[in-house]
Amino acid sequence: MTPRRAPALACSVVGAAVVALDGTVLTIAQPALQHDLHADVGQVQWTSTGYLVAVASLLVFAGRLGDRYGHRRVFAFGALGFAAASTGIALAPGIGAVIALRVLQGVCGALLQPATLGMLRTAYPPERLGTPIAVRTAVIGLAAAAGPLVGGALVSAYGWRAVFLLGVPPTLAIGLVALATREPGTDPDRTREPGPGYASEPARVSEPSRDASDPVPRSPLDPFGALLLAVALGLLVHGLVDAARPGGTLAGLLACGGAVAVGFAFARHERRAASPLLPPELLRSVPVVAGLAVLLAASAALFGSLFVATYFLQDVQGLDPLDCALRVLPLAVLMVLGAPLCAPLQRRFGPRRTATAGATLLTLGVLQLSRLDATAGALPVGVAAALLGAGFVTLMVTATSVVVHRAPEAHAGVAGGLQQTVMNIGPALGVAAATLLVALVPLGGFVPAAGVAVPALTAVAALAVPAALALPGADRRRTRPGATPPRPGRRPYVRS
């Protein structure tokens, strides 16, 4: 690993892990937070909702900022701001301050998350992105699995404030590393061209004299488009979260309707903008759109199914949280152990076949969950969890690699922002759909085999299969292992 790639990989992995860990430990800390600050349930819920709305609404614009000003610079501001907001939450005197600082933390998280992928895209050649993305995914899975255990231990020993201090040292450290490391400079021997699959203008040799912290020519930011997209995504996430609450269905549907209306206004603005927020060549790329569709369907199906399964195991079967976590532990284990295998599978079989296999495993896992009745034992639950983990990690690594790989380097931040946006909207959509279906068919309750929620989510998971079939196939240009294609713009040497 080159000296330029090591800091990028470290910042990407640690940044993504801290955000994943923060989300899981907060769930454990909320009851203690509510009791200590004398807050009601609605106020405590806003500690999650405020963060989600801020993150989801700003991810794409934050990616655009990274494309314009440099991913490491934007990452550094996001990481240092995240650390400062976390410290402020730990010292907050009341629930109002916690909510406000959680929103600020969400803004900083939005700056941080797209840059974790943008830095990898600029540091690694496109054909080598699979391995660092797999490492990043494995660490996210490990952080998400460890979060409840670490959070429970910290809350029991030191109180809820300790969970917010947990991520401060690593986030502060990687923020300083990103500030101290220069953005990958331009290379005279390296052409800046879009990823494979684009019909674009001829590749140009980048100018060695350009400032390394300014990797691409600056174009207008489209602030009005960013505002419209932020409002649309914020309303959508808020509506989905509201729809999942008891009695919040009407308000949630109204918010989602408002999101659709603002979304139409955004689309109309983008068609007329001279420099749109979402580059047209990115949206016209079939691999990028297919990869985002795979992630949306997979994340909605997984998190919706886990939502129902958690209530099934705890409320129907009477398991405590620890026993419930142990029943679904194979999911986390397969995510952590399976991620490193995804990159070689992609190289051997191509994204299309790899993702199709992952989508099939995920669908079988949700289908297995849908067959559980009130007497289901640990084995069928564990099998379902293993299928979910193996399928989801395969899809996440493969689809993310395709989205980042097929995006031009100049739009790597926007591509990362879109990927992160989908990964925020998908879980909210899945949980909202499961909640609505359980409410509409209350006779089955949270027993998967007696209700319609998990069977419907099986159909959602199956939608990932046709999306996976639209991904690129294996690269047939490599005729032998280790062969490297000639650099763009140079003629291959042919022996006469």
Per-residue pLDDT of 14-43, as tens digits, reads 999 998 888 777 777 888 888 899 888 778
Helices (H) and strands (E) in the chain, counts: 17, 2
Amino acid at 231: V
Tokens read off for 164: 């917010």
Same structural domain, 441 and 457: yes
Lowest mean pLDDT among 72-76, 92-96, 314-318: 314-318
Q: What is the phi/psi pair of residue 205, to 5°?
A: -75, 125
Q: In this structure, is residue 482 part of a structural domain?
A: no
Which tops the pLDDT comparison, 253 or 478? Answer: 253
Q: What is the structure's pLDDT at 183?
A: 67
> Could you tell me if 123 and 136 are in contact, meaning their C-beta atoms sit under 8 angstroms apart?
no
Q: In this structure, is residue 203 part of a structural domain?
A: no
Q: In this structure, is residue 154 part of a structural domain?
A: yes
Same structural domain, 257 and 286: no
Q: What is the structure's pLDDT at 297?
A: 95
Tokens read off for 218: 């600056």
Q: What is the structure's pLDDT at 44?
A: 83
Same structural domain, 325 and 454: yes
> Could you tell me if 11 and 72 are in contact, meaning their C-beta atoms sit under 8 angstroms apart?
yes
Same structural domain, 19 and 126: yes
Q: In this structure, is residue 211 part of a structural domain?
A: no
Same structural domain, 229 and 86: no
Same structural domain, 4 and 38: yes
Q: In this structure, is residue 51 part of a structural domain?
A: yes
Q: What is the structure's pLDDT at 3?
A: 65
Number of domains in the chain: 3
Same structural domain, 269 and 325: no
In whole angstroms, give the CA distance from residue 259 to residue 254. 9
Same structural domain, 111 and 53: yes
Query: Is the pLDDT score of 339 beyond 70?
Result: yes
Q: What is the structure's pLDDT at 476?
A: 64
Q: What is the structure's pLDDT at 11?
A: 92
Q: In this structure, is residue 333 part of a structural domain?
A: yes
Which tops the pLDDT comparison, 87 or 144? Answer: 87
Query: Is the pLDDT score of 482 beyond 80?
Result: no
Same structural domain, 452 and 346: yes
Inter-axis angle of helices 5-37 and 71-90, nearest 10: 20
Q: In this structure, is residue 212 part of a structural domain?
A: no
CATH number of the domain residue 23 falls in: 1.20.1250.20
Per-residue pLDDT of 51-60, as tens digits, reads 888 888 899 9
Same structural domain, 234 and 282: no
Q: Mean pLDDT across the chain, nearest whole number?
A: 83
Query: Is the pLDDT score of 441 beyond 90?
Result: no
Q: What is the structure's pLDDT at 184?
A: 60
Lowest mean pLDDT among 134-138, 322-326, 360-364, 469-473: 322-326
| Region 158-187 average pLDDT | 84
Range of the domain at 445: 278-475
> Could you tell me if 56 and 234 are in contact, meaning their C-beta atoms sit under 8 angstroms apart?
yes
Same structural domain, 258 and 290: no
Same structural domain, 254 and 307: no
Per-residue pLDDT of 376-433, as tens digits, reads 889 999 999 999 999 999 999 999 999 988 888 788 888 888 998 999 888 888 888 8
| Region 230-258 average pLDDT | 84
Q: What is the structure's pLDDT at 189?
A: 39
Which tops the pLDDT comparison, 156 or 192? Answer: 156
Q: What is the DSSP letter of 314?
A: I
Could you tell me the pTM of the whole model?
0.80
In whole angstroms, give the CA distance from residue 177 to residue 180. 5
In three-state secondary structure terms, 288 is: helix
- CA dihedral in degrees (426, 427, 428, 429; nearest 10)? 50
Per-residue pLDDT band for 121 (boundaries 50, 70, 90) equals confident
Per-residue pLDDT band for 204 (boundaries 50, 70, 90) equals very low
Q: What is the structure's pLDDT at 356?
A: 96
> Could you tell me if 373 and 309 are in contact, meaning their C-beta atoms sit under 8 angstroms apart?
no
Query: Is the pLDDT score of 211 beyond 60?
Result: no
Q: What is the structure's pLDDT at 201?
A: 39
> Could you tell me if 488 and 409 are in contact, meaning their C-beta atoms sit under 8 angstroms apart?
no
Q: In this structure, is residue 190 part of a structural domain?
A: no
| Region 348-370 average pLDDT | 94
Q: What is the structure's pLDDT at 188?
A: 36
